Amino acid sequence: MNNLLESPIEYLKGVGPTKGELLKKELQIFNFRDLLWNFPFRYVDKTKFHKISEIHDDSQSVQLKGILIQKQLLGAGRKKRLTARLRDSSGSIELIWFKGVSWVDKFLVPGTEYIVFGKPSSFNGRFNIAHPEIEVVKSNSGERPSTLAPVYSSTEKLNGKGLDSKGRRRLISTLLGKLEPSDIEENLPKYLLDRTKLMGRFKAMTKVHFPTSQQELDQARTRLKFEELFFLQLRLLQMKINNRTAIKGFVFDKVGDYFNRFFKEKLPFELTGAQKRVVKEIRVDLGRGYQMNRLLQGDVGSGKTIVGLMAMLIALDNGYQSALMAPTEILAQQHYNSLREMVNGLAIRIGFLSGTVKGKKRKELLKLLALGEIHILVGTHALIEDPVVFQNLGLSIIDEQHRFGVKQRAKLWMKSRPYPPHVLVMTATPIPRTLAMTLYGDLEVSVIDELPPGRKPVQTLSRNEGYRLRLLGFMKEQIKLGRQIYVVYPLIEESEKLDLANLFEGFESLERYFQKPDYQISIVHGKMKPADKEFEMQRFVKGETQIMVATTVIEVGVNVPNASVMIIENAERFGLSQLHQLRGRVGRGADQSYCILMSSYKVSQVGKKRLEIMVQTTNGFDIAEADLKIRGPGSLEGTQQSGVLNLQIADLAKDQKILATAREIATRILEKDPPLENPLNIRLKNYIQKHKRRIKLWSRIS
């Protein structure tokens, strides 16, 4: 039935082979459907015009109406350009084209009235508009009458071939003229349409391109956004239901001596309510006979490690080995040490493996591992290298998930027979609920949403250079109180040399102020050899140095409870989630902790906003929400590797309400009718079957 929509784009009247190629190359528009689903990103109110005299330095895009009073072709060859002047009752402005010059030249007729749209810029104190959209007033181009004209994303190449917004409007108009309502079949059940009052599908598709009022446009967009998010959620939830019983796994149904003795004799503190809940969720999941695929989310310092340990003890009670994998040597080492300390006296053998474990030591370790004499193996991604063979790996825990690629995780699966190991991924990157629903919508998710008791919120200050001297004094005071201090510098690859120079300069000026032998300063950065890094790190961990100057290598997971001051230099250059992670390094002990965000005098609007948010809240989820709003979903940490969030019309940052509704309705439908067999749901079933590949899924941690 949808055959017409499948027609190759070049067959549409007005397209042809050349334009067809261009549409494919520039916009991935291959057929009629793609053209239709390429939605306007903006609409121009055709009834509202600016006066030319109103244009000022900060003018955004303006719409003008006036007579073209002159035009001039200048230069030749590549330097050819076309200028024209538009006049209205208030004044005149220059229009200028550098590309597609001959094509525009043919179109512009002095003395004619045009509507011009574009962003003015000023040159030598005079305004002009480069490459404006321009059309003849009341042109009889066959375009539908509309006050809100759609604007489509475009490129220079498309514009040069008449495929700018105006050209595309014409194509879509042609296409809509050919379509019957049955070509865009309704895919939502009638009961759902009745209840949600959503606009019908065909109408929405027409109105999103050619709305006659703002209200109509809003309804059309809401309908299409809902559809997009709803089917995505349906698919994710179906997969989640399916996953729970898809892959057989080891049954860990015993809770035995290791777990119980640890709980009674070794637990260093009472678990928080959230930790207890999550341990239970994991326990139940491990006993079901199906592979566990669980994401454990918890803010920095929320106590994920001990939860991981308890899961490993369950594995051990059932006779299986576990692996705990961390993204850096330092963090792996720290896990190794703290696990050993925690289970001290329980006859549990823990091994450590990383690239630095070599020769005889490594050989011995691998032998014990294969014999099953090592119960828990902690390490870096060296764990998943080929020669590492377990006797019976039953559980893999991956800390700080976003640092591991999909391929590496898949390798872990190969380490165990006959079933893949249970997988628990721990991440401290708080993800807004709505985004999590989509990114991890098909996974089981456990959340530790409570910090251990007695933590004092970190006091956060945002300061600039004017504060420098006072800062040094403050540092001295804190050190006198026996505290330790981090000073973190940004380091990004593009400006690596400059950044390192900054770091050393900062280090040297601190050394001048905090002189030996009273003070000792550590320095750690990514260019150091792992052994040197480790050495410096350990000096700080042991309290031999009071100040740790570092680039973001300390970002992930180090635990030095005595460190209570985090100073972040050039804080405006860090992203929110990074700032939050860094701040999480302090506030782990009983003392009041501080985070001081040092920034230059000149900070961009967005930078300022980020610093403000950091001062206002310490809640990771609130910060993640704010980050999502500022940067959009694509740039959130954790989403880059999982693929693009390229939704066609919905926006996860802005359409949270629609998403929540879609998720809720999808959940309710699947609860009652998991296979979607009820005749009332036939449209859903058919649509999913037909469009399985088009409903994009990007999560999958394994």
Q: Which residues of the shown chain bind ligand ADP in the complex (CB under 6 A)?
A: 269, 271-272, 275, 298, 300-306, 428, 452, 559, 561, 588
Q: Among ligand ADP, Mg ion, none, what does residue 272 contact (CB within 5–8 Å per kind)?
A: ligand ADP
Rounded to the nearest whole angstrom, what is the least distance from the CB of residue 354 to Mg ion in the complex?
A: 17
Beta carbon nearer to Mg ion, 351 or 557: 557
Residue 690: half-sphere exposure toward Cβ, Cα within 13 Å? 12
Q: Among Mg ion, ligand ADP, none, what does residue 301 contact (CB within 5–8 Å per kind)?
A: ligand ADP
Q: Which stretch binds Mg ion (CB under 5 A): 63-71, 308-316, 486-494, 551-559?
A: 551-559
Beta carbon nearer to ligand ADP, 302 or 462: 302
Which residue is nearest to Mg ion, using beta carbons?
A: 557
Beta carbon nearer to ligand ADP, 273 or 473: 273
Pick the closest to residue 595 from 459, 432, 490 (CA basis).
Answer: 459
Distance of alpha carbon 420 from the chain centroid: 28
Long-range contacts of the stretch 165-170 (C-beta < 8 A, 24+): 165/40, 165/133, 166/133, 166/135, 166/141, 168/35, 168/38, 169/143, 169/209, 170/14, 170/141, 170/142, 170/143
Which residue is nearest to ligand ADP, using beta carbons?
A: 303
How many C-beta atoms surround the C-beta of residue 11 within 10 A?
Answer: 12
Residue 606 tokens, joined = 């967005």
Phi-psi region of 386 (alpha: psi -120 to 50; beta: other; left: phi over 0): alpha
Residues contacting residue 284 through CB under 8 Å, at least 6 positions apart? none
Contact criterion met (CB below 8 Å) for 204 and 184: no
Residue 389 tokens, joined = 């063979």
Beta carbon nearer to ligand ADP, 222 or 305: 305
Cα-based torsion angle of the residue sequence 257, 260, 265, 268 in order, rounded to the nearest 10 degrees:
130
Beta carbon nearer to ligand ADP, 304 or 573: 304
Beta carbon nearer to ligand ADP, 25 or 276: 276
Contact criterion met (CB below 8 Å) for 314 and 422: no
Beta carbon nearer to ligand ADP, 300 or 382: 300
Q: Among ligand ADP, Mg ion, none, what does residue 91 contact (CB within 5–8 Å per kind)?
A: none
How many C-beta atoms surround the C-beta of residue 372 within 10 A?
Answer: 15
Q: Among ligand ADP, Mg ion, none, what does residue 354 contact (CB within 5–8 Å per kind)?
A: none
557 binds Mg ion (CB under 5 A): yes
Rounded to the nearest whole angstrom, what is the least distance from the CB of residue 305 to Mg ion in the complex?
A: 5
How many C-beta atoms surround the C-beta of residue 388 within 10 A?
Answer: 20
Beta carbon nearer to ligand ADP, 499 or 555: 555
Q: Which stretch binds Mg ion (CB under 5 A): 4-12, 557-565, 614-622, 629-637?
A: 557-565
Rounded to the nearest whole angstrom, what is the least distance from the CB of residue 360 to Mg ion in the complex?
A: 31
Rounded to the nearest whole angstrom, what is the least distance from the CB of residue 553 to ligand ADP in the complex?
A: 17
Contact criterion met (CB below 8 Å) for 203 and 220: yes
Q: Among ligand ADP, Mg ion, none, what does residue 275 contact (CB within 5–8 Å per kind)?
A: ligand ADP
Beta carbon nearer to ligand ADP, 588 or 683: 588
Contact criterion met (CB below 8 Å) for 224 and 207: no
Rounded to the nearest whole angstrom, what is the least distance from the CB of residue 347 to Mg ion in the complex?
A: 25
Beta carbon nearer to ligand ADP, 270 or 612: 270
Residue 622 tokens, joined = 């609130």
Residues contacting residue 418 through CB under 8 Å, at least 6 positions apart? none
Rounded to the nearest whole angstrom, what is the least distance from the CB of residue 475 to ligand ADP in the complex?
A: 24
Distance of alpha carbon 424 from the chain centroid: 21
Q: Among ligand ADP, Mg ion, none, what does residue 35 contact (CB within 5–8 Å per kind)?
A: none
Q: Any bridge partners for residue 65, and if so which?
A: 115
Beta carbon nearer to Mg ion, 211 or 557: 557
For residue 391, the one-letter residue type is Q
Beta carbon nearer to ligand ADP, 146 or 552: 552
Rounded to the nearest whole angstrom, what is the least distance from the CB of residue 304 to Mg ion in the complex?
A: 5
Q: Among Mg ion, ligand ADP, none, what does residue 14 contact (CB within 5–8 Å per kind)?
A: none
Helix (H, G, I), strand (E, B) or coil at 279: helix
Helix (H, G, I), strand (E, B) or coil at 138: coil
Rounded to the nearest whole angstrom, what is the least distance from the CB of residue 274 to ligand ADP in the complex?
A: 9
Q: Among Mg ion, ligand ADP, none, what does residue 559 contact (CB within 5–8 Å per kind)?
A: ligand ADP
Taking the chain, what is the end-to-end CA distance rounded to the nearest angstrom? 37
Q: Among ligand ADP, Mg ion, none, what does residue 452 contact (CB within 5–8 Å per kind)?
A: ligand ADP
Beta carbon nearer to ligand ADP, 302 or 618: 302
118 binds Mg ion (CB under 5 A): no
Rounded to the nearest whole angstrom, what is the least distance from the CB of residue 55 to ligand ADP in the complex?
A: 53
Rounded to the nearest whole angstrom, what is the least distance from the CB of residue 398 to Mg ion in the complex?
A: 11
Contact criterion met (CB below 8 Å) for 319 and 253: no
CA distance 13 to 20: 11
Q: Among Mg ion, ligand ADP, none, what does residue 303 contact (CB within 5–8 Å per kind)?
A: ligand ADP
Residues contacting residue 694 through CB under 8 Å, at least 6 positions apart? none
Rounded to the nearest whole angstrom, what is the least distance from the CB of residue 589 to ligand ADP in the complex?
A: 9
CA distance 386 to 382: 9
620 binds Mg ion (CB under 5 A): no
CA distance 362 to 354: 9
Rounded to the nearest whole angstrom, what is the least distance from the CB of residue 679 to ligand ADP in the complex?
A: 48
Rounded to the nearest whole angstrom, what is the least distance from the CB of residue 310 to ligand ADP in the complex?
A: 11
Residue 354 tokens, joined = 């990383």
Q: Which stretch binds Mg ion (CB under 5 A): 265-273, 338-346, 553-561, 647-655?
A: 553-561
**Applying CB under 5 A, which residues contact Mg ion?**
557
